[in-house]
A and B are shown apart, each in its own frame.
Chain A
Amino acid sequence: MFEIDMLFAFGLFSIGLYGVTSKKDFLRIFFALEMLLNAVILMLASGAVHLGATQNIPLAYMVIVFATLEAAVGILIFALSNRLTNKVIPDTIGGIQ
């Protein structure tokens, strides 16, 4: 069971890695970043349940809190850069003064 959970967590992390590295718009990059963090949360929860490493659970809560703050910062950067440059693809933004 633990091995299956970990394999799926690696799969989710790989999909997130694909989303971050492929040439996507801001929205998809956010989704991909959240997938990376969720893969970590899945690993922590699985380790807590199957290996008895219960100290993983508080760390999973911390990751969720950081993910929420990261999403808030990201959305605001997204909105601000869109307002300044009128673009939604990060690669097409030359530079924000």
Chain B
Amino acid sequence: MNILFLSLVLILAIASLTTQKSVSALIAFGLMMVLLGGYYIYLDEKLLGLFQIFVYAGGISVLMLFGITLIGTDFPPTRERPFAIFLSVAFFGLVTTLFMSHVSQLPHHATTPSNPSLFSDSYGDFVIIFALIGASLLYATIKMAKLLQSQRGQDV
């Protein structure tokens, strides 16, 4: 079952990158995210799965659709960089080899109990870094929105 789910995810991922039509590519991307969310639910991580479906298939896909409507759906065909496929295949081969040679050494803690203060216990030291990254991204979003608005004002 999980192989079927994940194979479909990979097929849709390739389709979203290779389909010429933008809206079709976006639909493939959205379906991929729904399937990934479904897979997390299948893995019994229900909240993560629902979060994935709502945020990715709902929010980000619609955000990209909004971008497409701003720019238009016509994207000129581009020439592929010759090293791109080689790089990705080489990366896959390297990481898979490294993982397979070290997978037996991974610790298993399957009986770890769920902990309500898991985040603060595990990532308490990193909260400031997370907050800084989030705040800088939020600042960049607002700044870009203002720039876009002022640019529109100049055009009008």
Are A and B associated in one complex?
Answer: yes
Q: Is B2 interfacial (CB 8 A cutoff)?
A: yes
Contacts of A17 in B (CB 8 A): 87-88, 91
Q: Is B128 interfacial (CB 8 A cutoff)?
A: no
Contacts known (A45-B45, A51-B108); A1 close to B64, Cβ less than 8 A: no
Alpha-carbon gap, A49 to B99, bound state (A): 18
Contacts of A46 in B (CB 8 A): 43
Is A28 touching B17 in the complex (CB atoms < 8 A)?
A: yes
- A interface, how many residues as a size bin? 35 or more
Is A38 touching B137 in the complex (CB atoms < 8 A)?
A: no
Nearest CB of chain B from residue A2's CB, rounded to whole Å: 8
Chain B binding surface, main DSSP class? helix
Contacts of A26 in B (CB 8 A): 67, 71
Cross-chain pair count, CB within 8 angstroms: 208
Is A79 touching B64 in the complex (CB atoms < 8 A)?
A: no
Is B122 touching A58 in the complex (CB atoms < 8 A)?
A: yes
Q: Is A93 interfacial (CB 8 A cutoff)?
A: no
* B residues with CB within 8 A of A: 2-3, 6-7, 9-10, 13-14, 16-17, 22, 25-26, 29, 33, 36, 39-40, 43-45, 48, 51-52, 55-56, 59-60, 63-64, 66-68, 70-71, 75-76, 78-81, 83-85, 87-89, 91-92, 95-96, 99-100, 103, 106-112, 114-115, 118-119, 121-123, 130, 133-134, 137-138, 140-141, 144-145, 147-148, 151-152, 155
Query: Can you list 13 pairs linking A and B with CB atoms under 8 Å apart?
Result: A4-B2, A4-B6, A5-B6, A10-B92, A14-B89, A14-B92, A18-B87, A28-B25, A31-B25, A31-B29, A51-B107, A68-B55, A75-B66
